[in-house]
Structure 1
Amino acid sequence: MAPSEQQSKTVTELNKDGSFNRQRNRFTTPFGNQPGELPVEAGRYRLVWSAACPWAHRSVIVRKVLGLEDAISLGTVSPMRPRLQHVDWEFSLDKEGMDPILGIRYLSEIYLKTDPNYSGRPTVPVMVDITKDQAVNNDYFKLTNYFETVWAPFHKRNAPDLYPEHLRDEIDALNEIIFHEVNNGVYKCGFAHSQDAYEQAYDMLFARLDQLEECLSKQRFLFGDFITDSDVRLYTTLARFDAAYYTAFRTNRNLIREFDHLWGYARDLYQTTGFGETTDFDAIKRHYHLSITISPDKQEVNILPKGPDLSVWDSQQNRYKLSNHEEKFLIHAGK
């Protein structure tokens, strides 16, 4: 089934001043056990992601860290978007170019099957209810929190607590800052259509990175000795920064490897179970440098940057010395 002709050829996500205004998520029904919520059932949902996408990557990190792989299946779209009249994701990595469970070639197919009037970009991550063949949640901002809380019955034994109850208000507040000023901050730089909008986003981004650098000079992770949901969210942007955002999005004041503490922190996480093995630098580079992003009108390019040197991600960082614990890698104790 080909993507519907009803879907718009272009998606406008710009304010009048040329600043980038990300589209809202369409499917936001929460997971839970209350009436009207999505039932939490093993084997019922398929998480669709792209290894290039930071929003999708964090859900896959949390899925891995908490041991939800058997409860939630994973579908993967290519980092290279298809050349269509609209922006889409394609299952070209799968045999015969179709997802083996959902039976679709383009992600827009499940969006339009769920909502025939949908006209935005089909986005990842998205949770698809296999029993109904419908997209049910693409709320990347809250998805990891659902995995960390109401999906707890399916966590592996001794799973870490990435969202400790006594820290949730603080984590939520920091997540808001990280989203607006860092995660989406790089996109505000890259997709700005005016010099003023770009420079405002650029200044905000690096002011926040400077503050995080100072914070991480005193403690191993954002909330001390243990990894939390906030660290997952910051990591996915840091992992893409030098390889993609620095050049593709013109965030070129500093490379992350030029920050003493952010760089050590990023490597500390990369070398932690669930982070490094789900980080695909080749997919990241191909997506941001060779593929279209949110505009189907982007001109095709054929040169993939050779650098940067990615072997340094495995270099020693000694961040454990900032911890009060001797373990090299530590995640907050489970429930």
Structure 2
Amino acid sequence: RKSDFYPEHLRKEINDVGQWMQADLNTRVYKAGFAPDQQTYDTNVISVFRALNRLEEILSKNHRPYILGSEITELDIRLFPTLIRFNTHFKCNLGTICYDYPLLNEWMKNLYWNVPGFKETTDFKHIKENISYTKSHGDINPKAITPMGPILDIEAGVDKDWSKIKAGGVKLPV
């Protein structure tokens, strides 16, 4: 079966969400992590969490396993690497995916457990030690200290009833 991650009937939504998701989340996590000063960090972290709040709200409206409903799209594929690494890799700690965003957390676990290719290509040890700021970026973490947590609950499996999950989010500083 041929997969279509950019289906014609969802292209407008994919383009709309994809534009701000890429600009405000997928790119800004790096801008925050590599920020040369506090103001740059603060600006980017707020944008990151504003985007996470928006994504959590989108999932709360559709109660389905994918960003735009019942079909996996390129949005899901583009978002997964950012979120699976979020808690350990990025220095954006206003909140965590696993504790503050229950719908995004469930979305992530669904991809990991139920969609071929996601689990097989996710290496948590590599994420924590090599591509995070702990070992490969001496200018950011000169002592190469690897944090112990947070402990991800991805191994807990997936909840099949999305309607039971209450939307979360993080209150943004003014």
Q: Note the residue ranges of structure 1 that are not aligned, 5 or more in a row.
A: 1-157, 324-335
More strand by share: 1
Cα shift at 1:316: 2.9
Alignment of 1:54-93 (within 5 A): none
| Alignment correspondent of 2:71 | 226
Aligned to 1:260: 102
* Deviations, residues 238-267 of structure 1 (Å, cap 9, x unaligned): 00011211xxx2x00111011121111111
SS of 2:30's equivalent in the other structure is: helix
Contact 1:188–1:201 (Cα < 8 Å) also in 2 = yes
Q: Per-residue deviation at 1:224?
A: 0.8
Identical counterparts, % of pairs: 38
Residue 170 of structure 2 is matched in structure 1 by none
1:170 aligns with 2:7: no
Q: Distance in 2 between matches of 1:262 and 1:230?
A: 13
- 1:321 aligned onto 2:166: no
Distance in 1 between residues matched to 2:149 and 2:162, nearest whole Å: 31
Separation in 1 of the partners of 2:28 and 2:39? 14
Report how far residue 216 of structure 1 moved: 0.8
1:176-200 residue CA offsets vs partner (Å, 9 max, x unmatched): 2111111111111111112222111
For the residues of structure 1 that align with 2:84 and 2:145, how far apart are their CA atoms? 21
CA separation of 1:229 and 1:300: change in aligned 2, threshold 3 A: same
Q: Any unmatched runs of 5+ in structure 2?
A: 164-174
Looking at structure 2, the residues matched to 230 and 302 of structure 1 have their Cα atoms a distance apart, in angstroms, of 33
Runs of 4+ in 1 over 6 A off after TM superposition: none
Q: What TM-score, normalized by structure 1, do the two folds share?
A: 0.44
Give the letter aligned to residue 124 of structure 2.
Answer: F
Amino acid at match of 1:290: K
User: In structure 2, how many angstroms separate the alpha carbons of the residues matched to 1:202 and 1:273?
Assistant: 32
Find the counterpart in structure 2 of residue 182 from structure 1.
25
Q: How well do the aligned residues superpose, as a CA RMSD in angstroms?
A: 2.0
Indicate if the aligned counterparts of 2:34 and 2:140 stay in contact, CA closer than 8 A.
Answer: no
1:201 to partner: Cα distance? 0.9
Counterpart-to-counterpart distance in 1, 2:144 and 2:44: 28
Please give the TM-score of this superposition, normalised by the length of structure 2: 0.81
**Structure whose residues are more often helix by fraction:** 2
- How does 1:266-305 map onto structure 2 within 5 Å? 266-271=108-113, 272-286=115-129, 287-288=131-132, 289-292=134-137, 297=139, 300-305=142-147
